[in-house]
């Protein structure tokens, strides 16, 4: 009897796993802006809703918005200039740019649907408007590249397999962990794609794309001598990103 129950559980587990494999295949679609095939489980309105719902919490986590209206206006102006002069204006996303008050954490990030953030710690280290355009262009690239939506879909897939595994065997924890890691952070390919798009957006808006290399130098210096080697990090090494940025500059300047 026990053997029969185990066999039934295994069959159920296989059925659940197959369901999520077929579901994942059906969710493959071409990104209309990057022309890359992605696994996506939500539409643009759902991405926008997730971003708007998450924005207040993220703002609070970084000490709220910076009180200087002039700085915020600069961030808005640069961000909107990038949007209005690129393919980003053709997307359904609702882009909003937020200068966070955090004076210590050097960071910039984007939520799905168009919520873009930069901390004052990073903003204050930028040397000119072109470098600000490089940061914001990169983050717009994450939105347009639908990287968060892709990670969410991948997480759902792995969590589904974890459910199947826990029914059929005791392997759910491992697979679930893979899904969580996929959800939490952008991968190297996401970062490189966003760098590439950022260069393109800068050129279209009339900014000097070489200044994005200056941003990489700032990030490299802020990480210090103890930064993780590339193979231990989810982000490409700044030196490798600089090389790819230089290639993108040559590619888009000749268009």
- On whether residue 94 sits in a domain, the answer given is yes
Looking at the DSSP bridge assignments, the partners of residue 29 are: 38
- pLDDT beyond 50 at 231: no
Ranked by mean pLDDT, which of 26-30, 39-43, 179-183, 217-221 comes out on top? 217-221
Q: By mean pLDDT, which of 94-108, 172-186, 235-249 is the weakest?
A: 172-186
Higher per-residue pLDDT: 22 or 210? 210
- On whether residue 20 sits in a domain, the answer given is yes
Residue numbers of the domain that contains 99: 7-183
What is the count of structural domains for the chain? 1
pLDDT band at 239; cut points 50, 70, 90: confident
Is 79 within 8 Å of 135 (Cβ atoms)?
Answer: no
Rounded Cα–Cα distance for residues 96 and 68 (Å) = 17
In the predicted model, what is the mean pLDDT of residues 81-110?
A: 95
- On whether residue 89 sits in a domain, the answer given is yes
- On whether residue 121 sits in a domain, the answer given is yes
Binning the chain into helix, strand and coil, the percentages to the nearest 5 are: 65, 10, 25
- pLDDT beyond 80 at 211: yes
- On whether residue 116 sits in a domain, the answer given is yes
- On whether residue 2 sits in a domain, the answer given is no
**For 140, phi and psi rounded to 5 degrees?**
-60, -35
Rounded Cα–Cα distance for residues 252 and 41 (Å) = 31
**Global pTM value:** 0.76
- On whether residue 54 sits in a domain, the answer given is yes
- On whether residue 248 sits in a domain, the answer given is no
Query: How confident is the model at residue 186, as a pLDDT?
Result: 61
Rounded Cα–Cα distance for residues 52 and 46 (Å) = 10
């Amino acid at each position: 009897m026990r053997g029969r129950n185990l066999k039934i559980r295994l069959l159920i587990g296989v059925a659940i796993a197959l369901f999520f494999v077929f579901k994942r295949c059906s969710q493959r679609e071409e990104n209309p802006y990057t022309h890359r095939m992605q696994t996506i489980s939500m539409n643009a309105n759902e991405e926008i809703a997730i971003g708007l719902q998450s924005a207040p919490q993220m703002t609070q986590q970084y000490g709220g918005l910076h009180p200087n209206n002039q700085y915020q206006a600069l961030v808005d102006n640069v961000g909107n200039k990038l949007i209005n002069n690129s393919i980003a204006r053709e997307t359904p996303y609702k882009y909003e740019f937020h200068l966070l008050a955090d004076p210590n954490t050097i960071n910039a990030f984007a939520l799905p649907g168009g919520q873009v953030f930069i901390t004052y710690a990073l903003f204050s280290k930028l040397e000119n408007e072109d470098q600000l355009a490089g940061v914001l262009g990169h983050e717009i690239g994450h939105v347009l590249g639908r990287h968060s939506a892709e990670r969410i879909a991948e997480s759902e897939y792995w969590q589904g397999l974890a459910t199947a595994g826990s029914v059929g065997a005791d392997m759910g924890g491992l697979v679930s962990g893979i899904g969580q890691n996929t959800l939490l952070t952008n991968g190297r390919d996401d970062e490189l794609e966003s760098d590439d798009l950022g260069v393109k957006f800068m050129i279209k808006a009339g900014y000097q794309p070489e200044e994005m290399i200056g941003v990489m130098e700032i990030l490299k210096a802020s990480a210090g001598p103890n930064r993780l080697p590339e193979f231990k990090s989810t982000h490409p090494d700044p030196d490798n990103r600089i090389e790819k940025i230089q290639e993108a500059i040559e590619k888009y300047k000749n268009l």
